[in-house]
Amino acid sequence: MLCRLFIQNIALFEQLELSFGPGLNVITGETGAGKTILIDALMLALGERGGADILRQGASKGIVEATFRLEPHGAVSAFVREQGYDSDNEELVIRREITARGGSRCFLNDSPAPLSLVRQLSRLLVDFHGQHEQQSLLRVETHGRLLDNVGGLEGLRQEYTTVYEQLQKAIHEYHTLCHRERQVHQQREWLRRQVQEIVAIDPQPGEEEAVERELRLSEHAERLYALAQQVYELLYRDEHAVHDRLLRVRNLLEELSRIDSRFTDSAAEARAWVIAVEELVRTLQRYMAHLEFEPERLEQLRQRMVQLQQLRKRYGSVEAALEQKRRWEEELQEAEQFEFHLQRARQAIERYRAELARYAQRLHAKRKAVAEQVERAVEELLAELGIPYSQFVVHIGLEEAAAEEELWVELQGQRYRAFPHGVEQIEFLITTNRGEPPRPLVRVASGGEISRIMLALKSVLAKSERLPLLVFDEIDTGISGRIAHRVGQALRALAQYHQVLVITHLPQIAACGDEHILVEKREWQDRTVVTARRLQPEERAYEVARLLSGERVTETALQTARELLAEHL
């Protein structure tokens, strides 16, 4: 609900702060007083285009601020929270600032917001009817949802949508499988060759290092034997062998230690040297005993190293080659099972398609029944509102599915395209002239006629369309007397479900308001200014009387005005 509107330096408004109440808020004022400017300012706050030319003469900046009270768990609160703006206080303040240079800034609860986001938000907050373009009922995409809401079909529609999304997903998965199957089929022989090459080599984890080590030993076996033999001779077999000399040193030190204990440790060290040399000699003997030079084994190792190096060059390492082999084997195994998976995917598609057809059939039948009720109700109300020869049609169209389409269902032996919320394309059509065929709402005449059409539609759809605020401009063009009274009653009934703002020149409509706002133009300090204020009860009677009798308000007009107002207390 719109609670407050603040305007500063916009058009002829110098500074204005205006509060609104729930229900029907009527706005009156003399012709040219600036009533529509008030609505234009509200639209500016909600994202309508506006440049420096909209500023009051001489102003450097203009501000429009609209304050809305939100339902805690309503669509607007959810949207604001999803966008990351604070709405815990159940109040939303939208501010628009326009500078003399043509710059524009928007704020939601004092936080900067892009203009595109404010425009999105405005679609959840306000519907303007009359000379303005922002009219939800003129957007064809809303017609199906409105019809479903009137008939209480939201649950059935959601069930249909759930199955539709499952069918869509199943079709996508099927095509993904087909694409993958074609890829694998084309690569199957190549994959087999790659796997066979690795299998033929049969590498083992860590084998390259082991072969490299053995190859290095085999290639230098003769040199290794010769070096080991030389060491062995020097230690043990040479005429001046180290082992023999150490034995003599050990014996001498032992004899010294028996005489002088200061050599005890040295004698022990000498014994350890002898033991170490003897252990080294045994190690050399074992090494030489097992060291063999085999030309055939050497050639085998060289060939094996070439194979392993080829794998490393191609795959990075033996381990990487083994991992790639495992993946290719899985792809080959998967290729063998593709037909099974494809068959299951086709079965899932047919299952979801059949289920979707059942929901589509039920939804289609119920929509047709609800459409007939809405058509009758709108035509009856339009007749009461002074459009007696109207014909309102809820067009429920089915489109045959093309041969290449896959999102389709079969109804009564015919394939029809399936959409996210049903198989129908729903659009509201109307004609207000006898003998003329119904046309889309967007193409009907503008001005008061379209406003009354919107009023009739909103009255029929009121319980389902939960926009907080409806604004009607020019709704009373071309009507008077009994029809004006009917329009006022319809607006008052509509205001039970929405907050309604209506600009009017008719006393019958003005008297129906829960709140009455008067817009006036006056001169102040050689400047023209527009003001607006909420009227008190007696002031309301005077304003309604002015609408009845013109500039000169008579006692008779005042009495009639009081009687009109009394009807709606």
pLDDT the model gives residue 208? 74
The CATH class of the 1-131+449-456+466-534 domain is: alpha beta
Distance of alpha carbon 392 from alpha carbon 375, whole angstroms: 5
- Higher-confidence residue of 241 and 448: namely 241
Pick the closest to residue 34 from 6, 13, 51, 64 (CA basis): 13
pLDDT the model gives residue 132? 45
Question: pLDDT for 76-92, tens place per residue?
Answer: 888 888 888 866 668 89
pLDDT the model gives residue 554? 84
User: How many C-beta neighbours within 10 Å does residue 444 have?
Assistant: 18
Bridge partners (DSSP) of residue 534 are 517
**Rounded to a whole number, what is the largest CA-CA distance in the chain?**
154
pLDDT the model gives residue 470? 87
Question: pLDDT for 216-235, tens place per residue?
Answer: 766 666 667 668 778 888 88
Tokens standing for 541?
A: 């009677």
pLDDT the model gives residue 446? 53
pTM: 0.62
Distance of alpha carbon 125 from alpha carbon 468, whole angstroms: 6
Tokens standing for 306?
A: 């070439």
- Residue intervals of the chain classified under CATH 3.40.50.300 are 1-131+449-456+466-534
Question: pLDDT for 416-464, tens place per residue?
Answer: 999 999 999 999 999 888 888 999 887 775 555 777 787 788 788 766 6
Q: Average the pLDDT over each of 46-55, 90-99, 330-339 and give the range with the smallest value.
A: 330-339
pLDDT the model gives residue 294? 66
Pick the closest to residue 23 from 415, 437, 513, 489 (CA basis): 513
Residue 379 near residue 200 (C-beta atoms within 8 A):
no
Q: What is the DSSP letter of 334?
A: H
Q: Which residues 6+ apart lie within 8 Å of 511 measured at CB?
A: 488, 544, 561, 564, 565, 567, 568
pLDDT the model gives residue 219? 63
The CA dihedral of 81, 85, 90, 96, to the nearest 10 degrees, is: -130
Question: pLDDT for 272-289, tens place per residue?
Answer: 999 998 899 898 888 777
Distance of alpha carbon 459 from alpha carbon 563, whole angstroms: 26
Tokens standing for 424?
A: 């129908």
- Higher-confidence residue of 404 and 466: namely 404
pLDDT the model gives residue 426? 94
Question: pLDDT for 147-204, tens place per residue?
Answer: 988 888 989 999 999 999 999 999 999 999 888 888 777 777 778 788 888 888 888 8
Residue 218 near residue 298 (C-beta atoms within 8 A):
yes
Distance of alpha carbon 494 from alpha carbon 499, whole angstroms: 8
User: How many C-beta neighbours within 10 Å does residue 32 have?
Assistant: 9
Residue 352 near residue 397 (C-beta atoms within 8 A):
no
Tokens standing for 88?
A: 């815990």
Pick the closest to residue 542 from 512, 568, 516 (CA basis): 516
Bridge partners (DSSP) of residue 521 are 530
Question: pLDDT for 363-396, tens place per residue?
Answer: 999 999 999 999 999 999 888 888 888 899 999 9
Mean pLDDT of 487-508: 90
Flag whether pLDDT at 133 surpasses 50.
no
Place of tokens 């019809």: 147
- Higher-confidence residue of 75 and 345: namely 345
Distance of alpha carbon 331 from alpha carbon 36, whole angstroms: 70
Residue 471 is which amino acid? V
Residue 391 near residue 195 (C-beta atoms within 8 A):
no
Flag whether pLDDT at 537 surpasses 60.
yes
Place of tokens 């001169």: 523
Question: What percent of the chain has pLDDT above 70?
Answer: 92
Q: Kind of pairing, strands 424-431 and 414-417? A: unpaired
pLDDT the model gives residue 184? 73
pLDDT the model gives residue 464? 62
- Higher-confidence residue of 31 and 487: namely 487
